Amino acid sequence: MSEFYTYKGYPLVRSGKTIYYGYMSDPFVTMIQILSTKKVGEEDVTSKVRVFQMSTDPSLNPLQAVVKNAERECGLYEALDIAHVWLEKALNS
């Protein structure tokens, strides 16, 4: 079994500019889309993201699965913190 990177106890799976955060076996996951980056020295750093909270119910189409979303001009760590708070609230309610 392959190991995933984790953040605050939840797995992170990246595909291009999209990052999924959470366990697919839970009722909800969050998805972060990197919308833009900026150069800081030699590195490209995330500067704008869209965060989605999504149901993992396979009977829903992708548009119905989105519970909430937000677009922010922020870095990746701030986006992960938003995703974490949303995920914790959804899973603990």
Domains held by the chain: number? 1
Tell me the three state secondary structure of residue 35: strand
Give the mean pLDDT of the chain: 94
Burial class of residue 74, CB neighbours in 10 A (0-12, 13-18, 19+): middle
Which pLDDT does position 3 carry in this prediction? 82
Overall average pLDDT of the 26-55 stretch: 96
pLDDT-above-90 percentage for the chain: 91
Q: Which residues constitute the domain of residue 66? A: 5-91
